[in-house]
Amino acid sequence: IVSVATLLRRGRRVAWVDPDFAQVGRLGERYRCVPGNTKVAKFLAGFRSLPSLNFEGSQARRRALGQRTVSDMGLDKTCELGLCADALEDGAQALLSSGAVRGLEARVVALKKEEAQDELWHASVGEDGRLREVSARNVLLCTGGVPRELSSASASAQLVIKSVAHDDVVAIDRLAALLEREPVLRSM
């Protein structure tokens, strides 16, 4: 989202391919209740530096609805990541509604560049079960990240290891639910 807004600030048009615009990735899906470790002032500076996110307008709309916003927090404080996820969700909608961004809710399944022909990148994009091609002079790949699980092959055969997923440990609500389901973890 920030990359797209940065390209717009530089006067570029963008074809944005994302399988799920609504969740803003793992941040919106799994880490909303996680306390941030970045001061609110830094978040605000970042959001405000990208006019196409329409940050001030979206924060005002949320306040009018009685919702807490990252702008309401003290500048020298930290906040739950959910407040930043809200701002990014609003920013994503602002970007998608701008005339400079073409949003495709899909996945890139192949990417190639044929330099001899036209100097363009050609991406095969899966959309609604169909593939189509999108071409561009420049491509920015933002893949996000997925935590890896501990491989049982790397553990000694004599140890019994209970692995807890990263997503479950950092989100307080998910950790509480996990501890309720897995009594063996409470005794560790």
pTM over 0.75? The answer is yes
Mean pLDDT of the chain: 83
- pLDDT bin (cut points 50, 70, 90) of residue 155 is very low
- Asked whether 119 and 137 are in contact (CB, 8 A), the reply is yes
Beta-carbon contacts of 158 under 8 Å, excluding residues fewer than 6 positions away, are: none
The string of DSSP letters for 45-74 reads HHHHT-GGG-HHHHHHHHHHTT---GGGS-
92, two tokens:
């994503």
At 106-134, the pLDDT tens digits run: 888 888 887 776 788 888 998 667 888 88
- Asked whether 108 and 136 are in contact (CB, 8 A), the reply is no
